[in-house]
A and B are shown apart, each in its own frame.
Chain A
Amino acid sequence: MTTGSVTVLKPGLETTVQELPGRIGYLEQGFPISGPFDSWSFRQANILVGNPRDTAALECQFLGPGLRFDRDLSVAVTGADMGPKLDGAPVPMWQTLRVRAGQTLELGPALTGARAYIAVSGGLDTPVVLGSRAVFHMARVGGQALVKDEVLPVGSPYASRGEILAIPEASRPRFSVDRRMEVEALAGPNDSWLDPASVEMFFSADWLVQAKSNRTGMRLTGPEFAFADRAINKKSDHGQDPSNIIDHGYPLGAVNLAGQTPIILVNDAPSTGGFINPFTVASAAFWKLAQARPGEVLRFRRIDREGAARLRAALDRVTSEGVAIRV
């Protein structure tokens, strides 16, 4: 049930409503999963306002929005530091904020990281499309990026003890301070299409994040790949370029190789296509991609499925209810 609303005073840069687990079950018709790019920050924002951690909230990219709350609410801002201000006065991130009807929250450009999250008590109650409120704004699935004067419905608040909560610094995601990030990744599905030396090279080289990066993909600049024989001598059905393969499904987080340009396929990425995916970023490391800025350098650390499972367990612990402390 909708009980209140948020009015958009300033849309920010492609600010969208996101929800977990995203749009499940429609990849076969070409609909991406969508959902929050940095699920760590997203879930902690929800925990701070007393919501189940997967509740619909806003994802802000590089430049945050201005919002007016039309009733008393709890709000929390996490993720990239966009210098949030309530009625013009700076307010802390990673902490429950009590907001009165009529107050305005304004976020600016990201100072560290790239994506911030704004959760409100009760969650955003936008329409469910194909099973999810997650927005794929480029195809207008589940809605679009926020526009000025738009009014977002807010759901009934969940029962809460009305405490002011905070995420201790040690439990927050750590963003790059030296413009470098280490990202855990696994070889496959198509690593056998590369020369073995190029597989090793991928895990040892510096990869620069290009400005042409968004919620569909992150383009990287780095050294050239050499291909294995199977990529060069293959049936014509696969296509002409060594990086071409018969159209196949694209895993979320795959490092897709189009010619010589690696593109990491993220939440709104194409579901299928005709290029190989030699590597895949571990699911619990996606949040790092969300917070990497153009011009920053990624290094990929090779892990196996057991390592990925340990990362998932660790991420689950820091995004569980008990992580927040009373202030």
Chain B
Amino acid sequence: MLHDTLRFYPGGDRAVEVELGDGMVFTLNFTVHRLVAALREARIAAIEDLIPELASFQITYDPDRISYEDLIREVAAIYARIGADVSGALPSRLITMPVLYFDDQTSDCIADYTKAHPDKVADPDLLCRINGLEDRAALVRRHSGTEYWVAALGFWPGLCSLLSLNPNARITAPKYNPPRTWTPKGAIGIGGALCCIYPDRTPGGYQLIGRTPAPIFDGAQRLPAFRDSLALLRAGDRVRFRPVGAEECAWIDAEVAAGRYVHDIVEYQVFSVDRYLDWEKAQKAGVRA
């Protein structure tokens, strides 16, 4: 899972991909974020951008201020110093997103795709079948029954990759092939072992199960949650999904349209990785017992 040493793959003359391991799991992603945080603290002026991802991260740098060789030497030295421990505690916001499961907009989107691809099983039914869930209600219980770790952001402003923190609440799914040309804004999707929220109307490939009326991207920064950025989520946040009915969803849509909606964000929590890993082990054991 975790490589013995960092693997460096240069991407042109201004970027390098640093791979820590091979897998989509919390512990590996946490190590990526720890190393990226240490690299930020080192304040290497020639580093312009860092993108932490599931099992790797990308550095964009100014090659006229630091050579590739010096850069990777610095990164390797920092990793040697901090190690690959998955331990400690860090501030982590908990953000609760309301979801209208199996809503009209995502249902229309699925129907639109099925017109051109008649063999496609409707997304929620496919997810039930692959994950051994008896019906859509069971799918909702499993999807909304865990906290998710914001493992990475990318592809589009604000688009998040979420990992289920409860090992017994994992849902997996193949991605659309070929991808969809459009996805409703706020759609919730599942692809591989990841869950995502679509920040805007974009192409996509994840299986759709519902829609959140609470925006995760606000280009005009109208809502209070977007004071500091146009994107709501940051890596290391946690997300929980709360099922709502059509009536509450419509009310939230109206609040958002009026610029009044206040996101449900708990700012005061600290996430203890050690206690989480103990809990995760107990959850897995509980299922086996």
Q: Is the CB of B175 within 8 A of A139?
A: no
B173 to chain A, nearest CB (A): 12
In the complex the two chains form, what is the Cα distance from A133 to B47 in whole Å? 21
A29 interface residue per 8 A CB criterion? yes
Q: Is the CB of A29 within 8 A of B231?
A: yes
Q: Is the CB of B13 within 8 A of A308?
A: yes
Q: Is the CB of A27 within 8 A of B193?
A: no
Cβ < 8 Å to A, chain B residues 184-238 = 192-194, 199-200, 217, 219, 229-231, 233-235
Interface class of chain B by DSSP? loop
Looking at A66-74, A81-89, A278-286, A289-297, the stretch in contact with chain B turns out to be A278-286
Q: Which residues of B contact A140 (CB under 8 A)?
A: 219
Interface residue from B155, B175, B192 paired with A271 (Cβ < 8 Å): B155
Q: Is the CB of B23 within 8 A of A235?
A: yes
Q: Which residues of B contact A284 (CB under 8 A)?
A: 13
Q: Is the CB of A305 within 8 A of B51?
A: no
Q: Is the CB of A280 within 8 A of B23?
A: no
Interface residue from B19, B58, B158 paired with A29 (Cβ < 8 Å): B158
Looking at A37-45, A116-124, A248-256, the stretch in contact with chain B turns out to be A248-256
In the complex, the number of residue pairs spanning A and B with C-beta atoms less than 8 Å apart equals 166
Q: Is the CB of A277 within 8 A of B11?
A: yes
Cβ contacts B148-176/A at 8 Å (1 or 0 each) = 00001111111101000000000000110
Q: Is the CB of A30 within 8 A of B231?
A: yes
Interface residue from B12, B57, B235 paired with A281 (Cβ < 8 Å): B12
B24 interface residue per 8 A CB criterion? yes
A28-B153 in contact given A235-B23, A247-B53 (Cβ < 8 Å): yes
In the complex the two chains form, what is the Cα distance from A27 to B13 in whole Å? 18
Looking at B60-68, B91-99, B259-267, the stretch in contact with chain A turns out to be B60-68
Interface residue from A189, A246, A252 paired with B9 (Cβ < 8 Å): A189
Q: Which residues of A contact B219 (CB under 8 A)?
A: 139-141
In the complex the two chains form, what is the Cα distance from A71 to B232 in whole Å? 41
Q: Is the CB of B12 within 8 A of A254?
A: yes
Q: Which residues of B contact A31 (CB under 8 A)?
A: 157, 230-231
A156 interface residue per 8 A CB criterion? no
A251-B231 in contact given A31-B157, A141-B157 (Cβ < 8 Å): no
Closest to A270 in B: B155
Interface residue from B22, B24, B63, B161 paired with A309 (Cβ < 8 Å): B63
Q: Which residues of A contact B174 (CB under 8 A)?
A: 240
A249-B159 in contact given A140-B219, A188-B11, A237-B24 (Cβ < 8 Å): no
In the complex the two chains form, what is the Cα distance from A136 to B200 in whole Å? 14
In the complex the two chains form, what is the Cα distance from A241 to B194 in whole Å? 17
A239 interface residue per 8 A CB criterion? yes
Q: Is the CB of A270 within 8 A of B63?
A: no
B45 to chain A, nearest CB (A): 12
Q: Is the CB of B234 within 8 A of A29?
A: yes
B108 interface residue per 8 A CB criterion? no
A-B contact pairs, 7 of them (CB 8 A): A21-B48, A186-B12, A237-B22, A248-B58, A249-B15, A252-B14, A283-B13
6 more A-B contacts (CB under 8 A) besides A189-B10, A247-B54, A251-B17? A28-B50, A139-B217, A248-B56, A277-B11, A282-B12, A308-B13
Chain A interface residues (CB < 8 Å from chain B): 21, 24-31, 33, 129-130, 136, 139-141, 185-186, 188-190, 235, 237, 239-241, 246-254, 270-274, 277, 280-284, 305, 308-309, 312
